Structure 1
Amino acid sequence: MARRSRSDYTTSALRVAQQVFLAATTEPTNLVLRREDLDGDVPQDVRTQLPPGRILLRPLRDLLLRRQTPLAVRDAVWRVLIRRARSDRSTWLVVALGMAMPGLRREARALTLDSAGDRDDVESALAEGFVAELYRVDVTARALCARLVRAAHRAGVKQVYHDAAARGVVWSQFASCAPQTPWGHPDFVLLDAVRAGVLSRAEAWLIGVTRLERAAVDEVASMLGERPNTVVVRRHRAERRLRDAIAVGTVTCSPFPGATASPPSASD
């Protein structure tokens, strides 16, 4: 008997969204973008980064993923995607998930690599976190896609922690056992560092978004209105304090995943 692939019977919202996105964006399709769809205040030099005429979504996604594509171009496109998704609440919502799928799948792999939990549950949590953030994110902000994926990551971490806690309540005849995943997860360590006063919320966010989310330092610096070298130095100092605090046991791992590190404000 032929073995069925996981995709034949998965209940993962993320995988279903990927399948629908691929089907809906295959020609012939009217799910396209044009330069004219960008906001009226988008500079001409940003518009010309996009090809003229109908822009199919899968080639557009490839364009946005290129490192040389400016952040301003990515954000201009994502503002259109977010507004259409909020208005449509169906097709374009799936399109938004599909456009962010490379980042979402990377998060799914990272969260389930050492986890014994249900991968479908984690992927569905990622999709839920992404969609929830899509409806509340400020579209005038910068690094929009990174913000959405970061919110999905936080939702996925909570799901992994929930699965680990559920497995941990099962009775065992042994007096002790290895900590359940996600013990020591970087997000929880950062939260514990903030509670211990080792890091500020802004420093925890900076480490998380550049180290865990792998956002480019120059993009984060642009979002904060600072020079990249300044951001690198500030992150290095924060990481040294964090390293020393972990070494002496001041910072370990938060047992409470409810709080999250958020982007810095002017008061941080």
Structure 2
Amino acid sequence: MQTKVERRMESISELGILQCPKCRGKLSVEGRSLKCQSGHTYDFSKKGTVNFVLGYGEENYSKDMLEARRKLMRLGLFEGILDRIADAVAESGISKPVILDAGCGEGTGLEYLDEKLKEKGIEARLLGIDISSGGITIAGRTEKDILFFVADLGSLPFSEQSLDFVINMFTPASYREFRRVLKPGGKVLKVVPEREHLIELREAYGLKEYSNDEIVAHMAENMSVVSRERISTTFDAEGHGDELLLMTPMLWGKTEGKSALAPKSVTVSASLFILE
């Protein structure tokens, strides 16, 4: 029986779209590493993940924060958004899409998306990248056939015109790179928070009102907006206030001694933009 690492190495070889982020040469599996013709080498971890950015970007999130996010995601924090993303993929009519989650964190969203797409009869090839090595370490635990990499948004380790969709959810974007790796007709599924997103937390801890105007303007300057859909749900956070505070970057360092102020439920409000 194949090990997890062997399965993922085989999947990478079959996919054949990995590219060295240093020289843009094609990467091939050699032994337990990925190598390009220029000699750049990237080793597989014990979980079958690969780190393309060794030496930086590895300490931006704590393990506790990532585990808190994973727990809340598994409780359904962003299910409404992920359900709509699955619908958008299905509506494309592509039966075996190659999908990248650019900024996948600890990978829980991709695990959920894998299940939803399979329910729709879609056999997607799912890829996740994040700059957080801690997040990718957690993501690599999954037994699902999802490939995870530590990588920089500004230098994606994929060849030109190799992806059908790029998901970019609540994270920075690199539209130049997204355009490079998308196939003709490929789409970016960009999720941007709205003013009401987690508004209960903002009000409880005295934070200023949020605006997405700059994010939306930058997006429109770089890609064409095919559609915009508002998604709003309510998440029952009762009993999970500590995890909610821990996973929310805007609250870091602002809630000491004030955990009792954590709301019992929060609004999840975002717009899904389909871009090309």
User: TM-score over 0.5 for the alignment?
Assistant: no
Task: Report the structure, 1 or 2, having the larger helix content.
Answer: 1
Task: Report the structure, 1 or 2, having the larger strand content.
Answer: 2
TM-score by length of 1: 0.27
TM-score by length of 2: 0.26
**Structure number, greater radius of gyration:** 1
